[in-house]
Amino acid sequence: MSNTATLIDNLKAEFQLEGNSALKSIKQTAWNTFETLGFPTVKNEEFKYTNFIPATKSNFTLQAKNSISLADFNSIELVKEEANVLVFVNGIFNTKLSNIISSKEEVYIATLAEALTDSKEEALITQHFAQYSNNISDAFTALSTALAKDGVYIHVAPNKVVSKPIVLYFIADTYTEEVFSQPRNLFIFDKNSQATIVESFTSFGNKVSFNNIVTEITVAKDAIIDYYKIQNENEKAYHVGTTQVNQKGNSVFNAVTVTLNGAIVRNNLNVVLDEEHVEANLFGLFLPSGNTHVDNHTIVDHAKPHCNSNELYKGVLDGKSTGVFNGKIFVRKDAQKTNAFQSNKSILLSDEATINTKPQLEIFADDVKCSHGATSGQLDAESLFYLRSRGLSEKSAKAMLVYAFASDVLSNIKIESLKLNLEHKIAEKLAVN
Amino acid sequence: MLSIKNLKASIGDKEILKGLSLDIKPGEVHAIMGPNGAGKSTLSSVLAGRSDYEVTGGSVEFLGKDLLEMSPEDRAREGVFLAFQYPIEIPGVSTTNFLKTAINEIRKHRGQDNLDAVSFLKMMKEKMKTVEIDQSLLSRSLNEGFSGGEKKRNEVFQMAMLEPKLAILDETDSGLDIDALRIVANGVNALRGKDNSFIVITHYQRLLDYIVPDFVHVLYNGKIVKSGTKELALELEEKGYDWIKEENKEAV
């Protein structure tokens, strides 16, 4: 057992100022912020229910080995269709398991480190890096910014449609050590471009892993982006994931976050609707069980008029698991004619599972349509009886009702094999078939 | 096939079935009639295994086995089917979807192999014709946005698919117009055979013009107080239930 201060010391030893002077200055400021803030405790309102302090006491290595085999990778592959595949093991890019098939004309895909060696991309990175994420009061994001070394850089030029999905696998390899990794992604979608991105998180081995990942996404005018985040790590995996999105006029951003497993998972999905006629759709499904904990924090920031946001998060909680949904919606003074909808529905499969839901709407404009709703309850007893009276076992009946409950989230996933794969994993999780 | 002896059942503190006895042989159709609150729906719920009811006495034997000991799914697998009085809506679950699972779980229980997709579809088509139900309805969320008649036809369709040995129709005729009633009755009659039995619970004699029963029983105050043939149903239609109530007041 180590302690939190040791981890901070070790992180400090990793901290080096690299890159151009602008990036250096951003990183230095971010490090100073992290040192001042430290890891958040439960006294921090944003982390009231989600405590990572015990996890920071693990004996982490920051330079982990990589022993993931092709067989390991095949066992977790999510997408059967032809796709661009980038694999990171403990935060380090794995060339062997990766395969980029789209042409350079269609999309520029590289590791962040590699992209920085290209002067054209470096200029873009400097322009966008850490410009959207919260590096002032969010310690995890500041830490990521300060220590950002590698991750995925995607740049789609104007009017380009990336026909093949881009699937990013972040694998924690804890076969030999406790690992702490911080991949850092930056996606730049130029005007009228289209792309589908998948971020997958899995873990191997039975030691503790900690993933602090930040993905920044900028979506220019008229671009249409699908973004799927799939988490299926083990019961010793701690995850803080922040996805920060900035959308310009007429763009559409669709996000689906599916959390199947993980010890303590915290997802921050923050979207700024930064010009008029923007549409953002945020869907989430989380299925904690045992003693695990899943916390989804979202911020939808309506900064400009005539924008639509639609948010639906569903939880299925079993065992002694706990869930948190915190959904903030800001409607700024200028953002007239805003439509913002939010809904969080949960099913508790056990008496010992808990969900904490907190919608937070702050509306400063007067001509808006906003609504929010939250429900939690058990599976409908009458529906269960109906299905059982037709010969379905209690387990099958429950699984069927859980699928049905989850289906309006999963139906937003447009990669067919991914959707089927998730349905299969959910079935496995509910111990049927 | 079914032997109910002195069955007593309560919901909460209230005793609803107060010693009901009924014997049904293979191939027979029994109609159970009675005024509101007599215990008709309680009987069907207890037979199907709804947990809201507590059986406080008596026994139910189905094909030589103790029915009351079985879970609802095992009753279905052994061949009991309940057509619900108020079929529920289940968003996101289609009839096709759950019937396929149901049929295969029933087959597994009986030591049979899974039904392959082609045979399942063939069976569906055949049964759809009998109850005049459309494929599109069966692919939609169960009963969501269905009319009353469509819901009842869906119940009869499921019955046809599951081919039960004992089917209990709980006021399947309520709220049906004459055309829907005819369709539902055709579905039931198509399934009638020397090995299948039916309990038809109804308020009105009308359904019995289409599904002609072998026996008619009057359920009143938790007991069967009168049994007869189909003529009894006509008598009830004509005279109402008051004379039954009167007769039993004297008996009490």
Give pLDDT tens digits for A23-52.
999 999 999 999 999 999 999 999 999 999
Residue range A246-272: average pLDDT? 98
Instruction: List pLDDT tens digits, range B175-225.
Output: 888 888 888 898 899 989 999 999 999 988 888 999 999 999 999 999 999
Instruction: Please write the tens of the pLDDT for every residue from A134-183.
Output: 999 999 999 999 999 899 999 999 999 999 999 999 999 999 999 999 99
Q: Residue range B116-144: average pLDDT? A: 91
> B103-119: buried (b, 16+ CB within 10 Å) or exposed (e) per residue?
bbbbeeeeeeeebeeee
Averaged pLDDT score across all residues of chain A: 95
Residue A64 pLDDT > 80? no
A430 touches chain B (CB under 8 A): no
Six-digit token pair at B214? 């072998």
Q: Read off the pLDDT of each residue in A231-240 and give the average, rounded to a whole number.
A: 97
pLDDT tens for A372-394 read 999 999 999 999 999 999 999 99
pLDDT-based confidence at residue A1 (cuts at 50, 70, 90): low
Of A13-22, A122-131, A269-278, B152-161, which gets the smallest average pLDDT? Answer: A13-22
Q: ∠ CA B24-B28-B32 to the nearest 5 degrees?
A: 70
Report whether pLDDT(B249) > 90: no
Give the long-range contacts of residues A35-40, CB within 8 A, separation 24 or more. Answer: A35/A8, A37/A137, A37/A139, A37/A142, A38/A4, A38/A8, A38/A139, A39/A4, A39/A8, A39/A139, A39/A140, A40/A139, A40/A140
Residue of A nearest to B168 (CA): A389
How far is residue A148 CA from its own chain's centroid? 17
Crossing angle of the two packed helices A4-14 and A21-37, in degrees rounded to 10: 170
Share of chain A above pLDDT 90, in %: 91
Between A57-71, A192-206, A219-233, B67-81, the lowest mean confidence (pLDDT) is in A57-71
Q: How far apart are CA A105 and CA B230, in angstroms?
A: 82
Segments making up each domain of chain A, as ranges: 4-275, 380-433
User: Which candidate, B75, B43, B50, places its Cα nearest to that of B200?
Assistant: B43
Q: Which residues of B touch A (CB under 8 A)?
A: 48-51, 71-73, 75-77, 81-82, 84, 87-88, 90-93, 97-99, 101-103, 105-106, 109, 141, 158, 162
- Residue A359: pLDDT band by 50, 70, 90 thresholds? very high
What are the backbone angles phi and psi of residue A41, rounded to the nearest 5°? Answer: -105, 175
Of residues B191, B252, B198, the one with CA closest to residue B221: B252
Q: Inspect the interface and report whether the beta carbons of B76 and A401 lie closer than 8 Å.
A: no
Q: Which residue do the tokens 């937070």 mark? A: A360
Residue B37: per-residue pLDDT: 87
Distance CA A347, CA A316 (A): 5
Q: How many CB atoms lie within 10 A of CB A334?
A: 13
What is the structure's pLDDT at B122?
A: 94
Report the pLDDT value the prediction gives residue A331, as an integer from 0 to 100: 97
What is the distance between the alpha carbons of residues B69 and B143, in angstroms, rounded to a whole number? Answer: 30
Identify the architecture of domain B2-251 in CATH.
3-Layer(aba) Sandwich (3.40)
What per-residue confidence (pLDDT) applies to B178? 87
Residue A351 has pLDDT above 80, yes or no: yes
The alpha-carbon gap from A390 to the nearest alpha carbon of chain B, in Å, equals 6
Q: Which residue's structure tokens are 């069955």?
A: B7
> Between B82, B84, B98, which is nearest A400 by CB?
B98
Residue B67 has pLDDT above 90, yes or no: yes
Specify whether the CB–CB gap between B162 and B103 falls below 8 A.
yes
Give me chain B's average pLDDT, please.
Answer: 91
A433 pLDDT more than 50: no
Please report the pLDDT score of residue B250 as a whole number.
57
pLDDT at B131 over 90: no
If you average pLDDT over each of A397-406, A410-419, B127-136, B202-211, which comes out highest?
A410-419
Angstrom CA distances, A362 to A270, A275, A276, A299, stand at: 15, 19, 19, 11
Contacts of B167 in chain A (CB under 8 A): none
- Chain-chain contact of B162 with A389 (C-beta, under 8 angstroms): no
Residues in chain A with CB shorter than 8 Å from the CB of B101 are 392, 396, 400
CB-closest option in B82, B91, B141 to A389: B82
Q: Looking at the complex, does the CB of residue A400 fall below 8 Å from at least one CB of chain B?
A: yes
Radius of gyration of chain B (CA): 18
